[in-house]
Chains A and B, each alone.
Chain A
Amino acid sequence: MEFALTEIQQMVLETARSFADNELLPIAADIDKTGTFPAAQVKKLAELGFLGVAVDEKWGGAGFDNLSYAIAMEEISRGCASTGVIMSVNNSLVCDPIKRFGNDVQKKTWLKPLAQGKRLGCFALSEPGSGSDAAGMRTTAIRDGDHYIVNGTKNWITNGKEADVCILIAHSDPSERHRGISAFVVDREQTPYGIGKVEDKLGIKGSSTTSLVFEDARVPVANRLGEEGDGFKVAMSTLDGGRIGIAAQALGIARIAFEEALAYSRERSAFGKVIGDFGAIREMLADMATEIDAARLLIWRAAVGKDRGEKFGKHSAMAKLYASEMSARVCHKALQIHGGYGYVKEYNAERHVRDARITEIYEGTSEIQRLVIARETQKAFAASHG
């Protein structure tokens, strides 16, 4: 067992942390208030290689491992949760499936500019009528010669407004459920599609969430990822990795909420002493610090599992479940420590509560994570007890 970071991982950490300190923390409140996409910051992320952290240099990425990616995600999300999810989607949900399922032509055409941050990606699985039950989707992609004709509406798509490359999951054979699903790289320059409603949300307001509307949209067969019918596998294995990113996002949000609460607890006085010396406040801070570390270890274990090519689905579900609920608890306590000041926008505590909340929902709700974990755990016990 070894808990030290390598030199490269340490360097990624320091780079990401100072970028967050200098470029994200100062603008995060404003991004939230105005709901603007942090375009300048995303451009700088690209220069740091953070839009393709775990993609080979050959394909335009930084060439680091998934642990480095988790580390960077935590630090960037500590600076700004919206920037965090923009980064996470491009890395986990767009670059990663092309890296794993794409052929060389697809990698050259899309992975390279995406990993370099010259283009931005989105991932379209959910629909108005299907979220947790992803295979219940209605969108179809019906083969017509050299093309697939796509019809349907995707919902809740992060980066939907800004992205020009979309990983689309749709039914190529509507008579089948899971096995009738295929995955495609849809290039907006090649295949125009519509951007529907832009959601107004509780938090992560700097990241756009839109519906995507496909009406007889023609996608070349060459854009299909993997074989016809592989789409569900592409989507689910992609989410396994994505959960590491979202868990790290949740952790980063918890970190900043904790840091601010700790600092506040040393400044604010009541009844003649700093509030940080009251037993109740101390207890909250001790638990926050402890749970933050627990989440990080779960996340890092999942990331290392992915790097080693091991089965890591249960571990990433655990990391995502624990980190997201931990983040909600930590942000709740951080607001409480601020008292009335926690409830007003002059401080950041209320924003962290709002930002943390999404991590319990997207890329598989907490309920879905629990189903995955329970199934794997029961299977293991059933096997070992006859």
Chain B
Amino acid sequence: MDFTLTETQDMIRDTVRSFVAGQVREPALRWNEGHGDAAGALRALADMGLLGVLAPERAGGAELDALSLAVMITELAEGDAGLAAMVAHHNAQGLGFLLRAGFTDTKALRPFAAGKQLLCLAAAEGEAHADAPDLSTRATQAGDTWRLTGAKRLVPLGNRASHAVVVAATESGARGFLVDLSGEGVTRSASAPLVGLRSCDLADLRFDDAAATHDLGPAAEALAHTRALGRLCAAAMANGVARAAQAAGVTYTLERKQFGKPIARFQPLQWQTADSATELEAAELLTWRAAWTLAQGTARSLDVEKAAIFALETVARVTDRALQMHGGYGYTVDFPVERHFRDAATLRVLADGTDVQRVALARGLAVQA
């Protein structure tokens, strides 16, 4: 049992932490108000080699483990949740699918692993689960090429990505396809803005007889893998947002004075500080363990669901308390807590819902019983 980071993980954390302090925290305020965007930050992360975290070195990736990914995503989310969501999506969903699907075309992989091009995963369709038979996006084979027709909503990186992994129904079940998003038959439009994660690029994609560049095979396995990675990243993001909110809240209580003393001296505020600190650290421990379990390749453990449920519930409470610590000021856009509060609410619905995960977890428990 060892709760310390390895040297590499430690280095990644420090690198990302100082990147966030220097190039994310300030501009994030503007990105979230629609002034400017995080494109520059994404390019900088690509140059740092952090857009191919899980990809093999031979394809230009960093070949790191899930724990390194989680550590990095938490740090990014502490600066800006929307940026963290995009980086997580490219690494764990787009690339995560390709790698798990056994995509070995190193030449095609290289630009994604280097972060020169971004890759998104267009799987779920709102009502239909990605691996459900009722996917409305369909693929049919015409000669050597597969052609896709259908629509996907709220795809992270959908506007910026050069390619998408699209999951579509075929006669033999759901399959994954690599699709060039600048190709014919693809239209993309920015999704209606969400309550939070405002700096995250989200698009609605339409495919009208669009040709796939690669058939990635049956999707189920790779989807299960990206779902686990997605839950891990959701937990990691939640922890980052919670950290930012707790820092803002506690710092504010140390500065704000009422009744002649800092409000940090009042027990109700101390209680909130203590509860948030405790729950947040528990959430991080669960998240790191889940990442470790994934890195061990342990088949079907319930660690990921536990981490995601706990972290997503925790971020809701921590951001709520942090807002309350600020009193009326917390309700204004002059302080960052209202954004953390909105980001928390958004994370909880995007990460396929804690309720869905509870069902998955309870099923697993029943099997173990």
Contacts of B3 in A (CB 8 A): 1, 300-301, 304
**With the chains together, A229 CA to B140 CA distance in Å?**
84
A294 within 8 A of B: yes
- CB within 8 Å of A: which B249-289 residues: 250-251, 253-254, 264, 267, 270-271, 273-275, 277-279, 281-283, 285-286, 288-289
Contact of A282 among B4, B9, B362 (CB under 8 A): B362
Q: Are A373 and B309 in contact (CB under 8 A)?
A: no
Supply 27 A–B pairs (Cβ within 8 Å), ascending by A.
Answer: A1-B4, A1-B9, A1-B67, A3-B288, A262-B365, A282-B359, A283-B355, A286-B361, A286-B365, A290-B286, A291-B310, A293-B303, A293-B306, A294-B286, A297-B289, A300-B1, A301-B3, A301-B285, A304-B2, A318-B277, A369-B274, A373-B273, A373-B274, A377-B250, A378-B253, A378-B270, A385-B254
**With the chains together, A1 CA to B291 CA distance in Å?**
10
- CB within 8 Å of B: which A261-315 residues: 262-263, 266, 276, 279, 282-283, 285-287, 289-291, 293-295, 297-298, 300-301, 304
B195 within 8 A of A: no
Contacts of A381 in B (CB 8 A): 247, 250-251, 254
A50 within 8 A of B: no
- Which residue of the partner chain A has the closest CB to B355? A283
Q: Are B285 and A285 in contact (CB under 8 A)?
A: no
Contacts of A321 in B (CB 8 A): 274, 278
Contacts of A39 in B (CB 8 A): none
Q: Are B309 and A286 in contact (CB under 8 A)?
A: yes
**With the chains together, A371 CA to B282 CA distance in Å?**
18
Contact of A2 among B1, B250, B363, B366 (CB under 8 A): B1
Q: Are B358 and A3 in contact (CB under 8 A)?
A: no
**With the chains together, A301 CA to B253 CA distance in Å?**
28
**With the chains together, A287 CA to B285 CA distance in Å?**
16
Interface footprint category on A: 35 or more
Contact of B1 among A5, A294, A298 (CB under 8 A): A5
Question: Whole-angstrom distance from the CB of B14 to the nearest CB of chain A?
Answer: 15
Question: Whole-angstrom distance from the CB of A251 to the nearest CB of chain B?
Answer: 12
- CB within 8 Å of A: which B283-312 residues: 283, 285-286, 288-289, 292-293, 302-303, 305-306, 309-310
Question: Whole-angstrom distance from the CB of A235 to the nearest CB of chain B?
Answer: 22
**With the chains together, A13 CA to B149 CA distance in Å?**
56
A: which residues have CB within 8 A of B? 1-6, 9, 67, 262-263, 266, 276, 279, 282-283, 285-287, 289-291, 293-295, 297-298, 300-301, 304, 318, 321-322, 369-371, 373-375, 377-378, 381-382, 385
- Which residue of the partner chain B has the closest CB to A290? B306
Contacts of A318 in B (CB 8 A): 277-278, 281-282
- Which residue of the partner chain B has the closest CB to A314? B277
Q: Are B273 and A374 in contact (CB under 8 A)?
A: yes
Contacts of B366 in A (CB 8 A): 262, 266, 276
Q: Are A3 and B293 in contact (CB under 8 A)?
A: yes
Q: Are A2 and B292 in contact (CB under 8 A)?
A: yes
Q: A1-B4, A282-B362, A289-B365 are in contact. List 11 more A-B contacts (CB 8 A).
A: A1-B3, A3-B292, A3-B293, A5-B1, A287-B358, A297-B282, A298-B282, A371-B270, A377-B250, A377-B273, A377-B274
**With the chains together, A300 CA to B9 CA distance in Å?**
21
Contact of B271 among A2, A263, A266, A374 (CB under 8 A): A374
